A = this chain, B = another copy of it.
Amino acid sequence: MSDDDFEPPRPGEKVIELPPADDAGLIFIGRIRTPWADRHDAPRNPMESDAVCTVELDPRYVEGLRSLTTSTHLILLYWLDRARRDLIIQRPRHDDRAHGVFALRSPVRPNPIGLAVVDLLAIDGNKLTIRHIDCLDGTPLLDIKPYFAHSDAKPEAEVGWHKERAKPLPPRGDKG
């Protein structure tokens, strides 16, 4: 846990008191290996980088991969274990406005579960080679799901606040 994750709220942001996190328990089933050790180096969204990354599944679960090679895309769920959980209103660095946590894909959320839709390139034993993820190296893995275009692909979807964002994103390197 770096200090950086607990920088004070920005103007317009708001913290709430959370209940104890014990309604249900998670198991870490592996780790995601990426080139990014620090969030200031990581891509701002999964499509921003074409870097080839690796999922290392705990060998205990390797039989759970049977038939998965027939999928072209996967949904990965992972645990954003370095994020605070209590910031209910947040102001993205490159936006003049503050938004509710559920309108954002921020790692800071009551249940810090990250989600990425990735290309599956290969499976070798307990290792999956993937592309299009933006998490830090060593991020704990929670789940792997096959992506079904029939129910998961909504190319017509829009996020109005994001389209209307006042400031365009700066070039990569100056991270928000």
Residues on A facing B (Cβ under 8 Å): 14, 16, 18-29, 45-47, 60-61, 63-73, 75, 77, 79, 81, 85, 88-89, 97-105, 109-111, 113, 115-117, 132, 140, 142-162, 164
Contacts and interface: CB of A to CB of B under 8 A. Distances in A.
Given A69-B160, A77-B113, 6 more contacts: A24-B28, A24-B81, A46-B151, A67-B103, A68-B100, A111-B143
A103 B157 contact: no
A63 B89 contact: yes
A89 B64 CA distance: 6
A64 B113 contact: no
Contact of A72 (B21, B72, B158): B158
B70 A161 contact: yes
Contacts of A145: 102, 105, 115
B68 A143 contact: no
Contacts of A14: 63
Contact of A154 (B21, B64, B149): B149
Contact of A67 (B75, B132, B142, B161): B161
A127 to B, nearest CB: 13
Given A64-B101, A66-B98, A72-B158, A25 B26 contact: yes
A97 to B, nearest CB: 8
A81 B154 CA distance: 27
Residue with the greatest number of chain B CB neighbours at <10 A, chosen from A14, A85, A103, A105 = A103
